[in-house]
Amino acid sequence: MNKPIFLILFCLVLGTRIIAQNKSLTLNEIFQEKKFKEAEIQGLKFLTDGFSYARLWNNKIIRFNIADGVPLDTIFNGDEILDARIKDRVSDCIFSDDEQKIILICAKELIYRHSFKSEVWVYDLNTKKISRVNPKSKIKYPSFNSSGDKVAFVLENDIYYQHLSTGNIIRVTHDGRINQIINGSSDWVYEEEFMLTKAYEWSPKGDQILYLKFDESKVEEFSTLLYKEDLYPRVQTFKYPKVGCRISLVTAWNYQLKGNKTNSLNFSHLIKGDYYLPRIQWLPDNQNVCLAFLNRAQNQISYLIGNAGNGSSRLLLNKKSTNYILLGDPLVFSPDLQYFLFRDNCDGYHHLYKYNLDGKVISQLTSGVNEVTSVLYTNFLSSEVYCQRSEILGIDRKIYKVNLNNAESECLTPKPGYHEAFIDKKGRYILVSNSEFNKPPEFWVLDSLGAFVAKLERNEKLLNIMKEYNLSMVEHQVISNRNGDSLNSIMIKPLDFSPNKKYPVLMYVYGAPGKQEVLNKWNSFRYYWWFQFLAQNGYIIFLVDNRGTPGRGDLFLKLTHRQLGRLELEDQVDAALFLRTKTYVDTARIGIFGWSYGGFMSSLGIFKYGNIFRAAVAGAPVSNWRWYDCVYAERYMGSEVENKQAYLDCSLVNLTYGLKGSFLLIHGLADDNVHFQHSAELMNSLIINNKQFDSALYPNSKHSIANEMSAYHLFTKITQFIYEKI
């Protein structure tokens, strides 16, 4: 054999061996073993000594040197606690302001998506002793007062606080009743749509407790059945306000520890009709509070200043919109109460403004098409505010520092990708996370000037695992819809992709207003590993952010108002038509998959465009917006009375006659968010129209079917459906 041919054959054999060493993904690894979970930095606290931070790590709280990440000592060791109820069960920790005591959250028990109750213990760093808060039962939302000698909490819809020195428990409210009155925590819809769970706040001096009272006695109830091998299924009943139905009456109250006195805050002279009260906060003077109100249509937001002592209130700021207003960051008040910071969209893009306490604009601090997406921290001593901004057509996020006096700004994170930041209370250090389409998150520390201090986590373990598998690149591309609007998209191709072959395509869609899937961020679309698995098995994965995406200004965001599904579907169809122009796409084998709002969208696609989409998978779809919660549906659709035809036009139950391809419908029977009612009514309509479909129902599963066995079973089912139908 001549030498050149031998070398060629040797290289081919070597290449084959190299490829063979790379593993193929399995559903078991992804959903049962959870082998590919990235490392995160959670529970980190920069300490007041200025050179160390504390972090919860494997049931221990360890103190690390900021500069080099070297462990200095162990502040708390849960494994050495004799009480078996604490060992291996600490999931979170909260330091007192003086850092001498730590609240330990143990044995967490989820209630809804964000709320939970747990065993709560307090560890004293001086005495090395541990004691339980309310020893008799689990509690919700514990928090220290400013001096760290008391812990407030919620138990069975009432507020309490406990003296840590004596263990004596004081009951603040007495009228809490399940499904009637809630004190200090929120009802279901506030938790889901306003991200409000803990609805009380200690005053700055720790001598008062401001709280909300929810009267949900007139709100309609909804029930789900839980199947636990009992003689009869257990009924879970909770209050759930739907479109046009009654909502909770929410009032604000203040409790003074001295004298055990409670008084209400009066705002009835300023706030009329149905309203939401989703934000409360103390002002720095320990006397006044700020309350944020939205009218029911959510096109007007009002901020009131209330006197906690006498209950009087006045209007601070009132904003109206021609469409809807999204609840943003809390107002940030200067210590001397000369001004406050507000993130407003009065020029069509969200930016930072400085207002005086008469509600008048002093100055605009940021401007341009790169929106401020969140306010992170304000350092009044150095006159600087830190914020996150959207860039590059909304796919990147960067951290900026803005001067409060001259509005000069500086980008602290010039690298590409998605950046998030946590800043310590004194503004000395910034914990930054950064990831990209194809790069798992890494974490590092900057100082207040933006200078690099230390790298905390590189996700090296995951990166090394990734090298063992055949993984495709996540490719970003900007495409256009029929109107010429630029849309961000992502494509994942099979690793052995050839432009001369034909490939089936699975489109993934979410599409909801204000929600972004295409971000220059690791796994922004949640199904990275499953999509890689499908790509390994010969499928192209494609997703596009339709109109309604945030980070690009109000015009792009709010086009879908009062007509959910119409423009979003146009953009998804245009994306499918874009795919059909590609020579490597098998135009007869395009499917679409989505969950929740995405299930609504994938159903719309197959019902209206069966000539384009061969098959659809819909998980927990909203089949009629009048059956969904009033906060979300009325914000984006308006009231059913005023917008009845639009409700009818986008109702899936009115469109099932158009089904031509294959349809898989999935729902958890204990879903407290999008109730199984949606899929049951959709099934009724499919049956009436004699449309065959596949279904998968999951008893006791909520909106996200996420536990190991259910998730594995679910995605095995979806994968088999895709193989057979697309």
Write the DSSP string, 502-553.
-EEEEEEE---TT-----SSTTTTS-HHHHHHHHHTT-EEEEE--TT-SSS-
Side chain identity at 370, as an amino acid letter?
N
The span from the CA of 390 to the CA of 125, in Å, is: 42
CA distances from 18 to 4, 13, 201, 471, 632 (A): 21, 9, 59, 14, 52
Is residue 2 over pLDDT 70? Answer: no
Q: Name the residue among 599, 454, 485 with its Cα closest to residue 548.
A: 485
Alpha-helical runs (H) found in 126-274 = 188-194
Query: For the purposes of burial, counting CB atoms within 10 Å of the CB of 507, is it exposed (0-12), middle (13-18) or buried (19 or more)?
Result: buried
- In this structure, which topology does domain 466-725 adopt according to CATH? Rossmann fold (3.40.50)
* CA distance linking residue 681 with residue 623, whole number of Å: 8
Average pLDDT over residues 275-294: 98
What would the pLDDT profile of 438-459 be if each residue is shown by its tens digit? 999 999 999 999 999 999 999 9
Residue type, 67: A
Cβ-based neighbours of 655, under 8 Å, separated by 6 or more: 603, 604, 607, 608
Q: How many residues does the chain have?
A: 726
On whether the CB atoms of residues 203 and 216 are closer than 8 A, the answer is: no
Phi then psi for residue 487, to 5 deg, are -125, 130
Distance CA 128, CA 367 (A): 51
Closest CA to 594 of 528, 648, 685, 664: 664
Does pLDDT of 7 surpass 80?
no
Mean predicted confidence (pLDDT) in 681-697: 98
At 69 the pLDDT is 87
In the chain, the percentage of residues whose pLDDT exceeds 70 is 96
Rounded to 5°, angle at Cα 575 from 324 and 440? 80
What is the predicted pLDDT for the residue at 85? 60
User: Could you tell me the pLDDT band of residue 571, with boundaries at 50, 70 and 90?
Assistant: very high
Cα 269 from Cα 532, distance rounded (Å):
58
Phi, psi of 410 (to 5 degrees): -140, 130
Alpha helix (H) ranges present in 99-167? none
Per residue, the 3-state secondary structure of 643-677, as one string, reads CHHHHHHCCHHHCHHHCCCEEEEEEECCCCCCCHH
pLDDT tens per residue across span 192-234: 999 999 999 999 999 999 999 999 999 999 999 999 999 999 9
In angstroms, the first-to-last Cα distance of the chain is 47
Sign of CA pseudo-dihedral 157, 159, 165, 166: negative
Q: Write out pLDDT tens, residues 545-557.
A: 999 999 999 999 9
Write down the pLDDT at residue 445. 96
**Separation CA 170–CA 152 (nearest Å):** 9
Residue 349 in 3-state DSSP? Answer: coil
Q: How far is CA 563 from CA 210, 320, 655, in A?
A: 39, 20, 16
Query: How far is Cα 186 from Cα 183, in angstroms, rounded to an integer?
Result: 8
E-assigned strands of 45-128? 45-46, 52-57, 60-65, 71-77, 90-95, 101-110, 116-124
Report in angstroms the alpha-carbon separations of 53 from 41, 43, 67, 149, 391: 12, 10, 10, 23, 31
Beta bridge partners of 239: 221
How far apart are the C-alpha atoms of 673 and 20, rounded to whole Å? 45
Query: What is the arithmetic mean of pLDDT over 273-297?
Result: 98
Entry pTM: 0.94
How far is it, in rounded angstroms, from Cα 370 to Cα 391? 5
Flag whether pLDDT at 83 surpasses 70. no
Q: What is the pLDDT of residue 18?
A: 40
Half-sphere exposure of 528 (CA within 13 A, CB side): 24
Report how far residue 531's alpha carbon sits from residue 607's, in angstroms, rounded to the nearest whole number. 24
Indicate the residue type of 688.
Answer: I
Burial 88-99 (b: 16+ CB within 10 A, else e): ebbeebbbbeee
Return the SS3 of 641: coil
Cα separation, 560 vs 558, whole angstroms = 5
What is the Cα–Cα distance from 397 to 417, expressed in whole angstroms?
7
Q: How far is CA 54 from the centre of its chain?
A: 25
β-pair partners for 400: 387, 411
pLDDT the model gives residue 19: 43
Task: Of 21-35, 402-416, 476-490, 525-539, give the lowest mean pLDDT range.
Answer: 21-35
Q: Is residue 55 over pLDDT 50? A: yes
Residue 79 confidence (pLDDT): 80
Identify whether the C-beta of residue 60 lies closer than 8 Å to the C-beta of residue 71.
Answer: no
Q: Is 641 exposed, middle or buried (0-12, 13-18, 19+ CB in 10 A)?
A: exposed
Query: Mean per-residue pLDDT for 516-541?
Result: 97
The two tokens of residue 278 are 């989703």
Residue with tokens 């805050």: 265
Helix or strand (DSSP H, E) at 569: helix 566-580
* Phi/psi at 513 (5° precision): -60, 135
Helix (H) or strand (E) holding 373: strand 372-379
Cα separation, 641 vs 429, whole angstroms: 52
For the chain, give the percent of residues with pLDDT over 90: 92
Residue 266 CB neighbours (<10 A): 16
Mean pLDDT score of the chain: 94
DSSP 30: I
Amino acid at 566: R
**In the structure encoding, which two tokens stand for residue 376, read together?**
């992170």
Of the candidates 425, 413, 348, 426, which has an alpha carbon nearest to the alpha carbon of residue 387? 413
Residue 709 has pLDDT above 90, yes or no: no
What local confidence, expressed as pLDDT, does residue 21 receive?
A: 53
Looking at per-residue confidence, does 12 or 669 come out higher?
Answer: 669
Rounded distance between C-alpha atoms, residue 149 and residue 19, angstroms: 62
Name the token pair of 550. 């945030």
Please state, in angstroms and rounded to a whole number, the distance separating the CA atoms of residues 77 and 130.
11
> Based on the number of CB atoms within 10 Å of its own CB, is 484 exposed (0-12), middle (13-18) or buried (19 or more)?
exposed
Summarised one tens digit per residue, pLDDT across range 635-651 is 999 999 999 999 999 99
Contact 132, 164 (CB under 8 A): no
DSSP conformation class of 28: I
For 551: left if phi > 0, alpha if psi spans -120 to 50, otherwise beta; the answer is left
Chain segment 588-610, per-residue pLDDT in tens: 999 999 999 999 999 999 999 99
Q: How far is CA 530 from CA 294, 540, 706, 712, in A?
A: 40, 12, 14, 11
Instruction: Indicate the range of 12-26, 174-188, 464-478, 604-618 predicted with least confidence.
Output: 12-26
Of 169-183, 247-261, 408-422, 706-720, where does mean pLDDT reach its minimum?
Answer: 706-720
Sheet holding 615-619, edge to edge: 474-480, 486-492, 540-544, 503-509, 585-595, 615-619, 662-668, 694-698
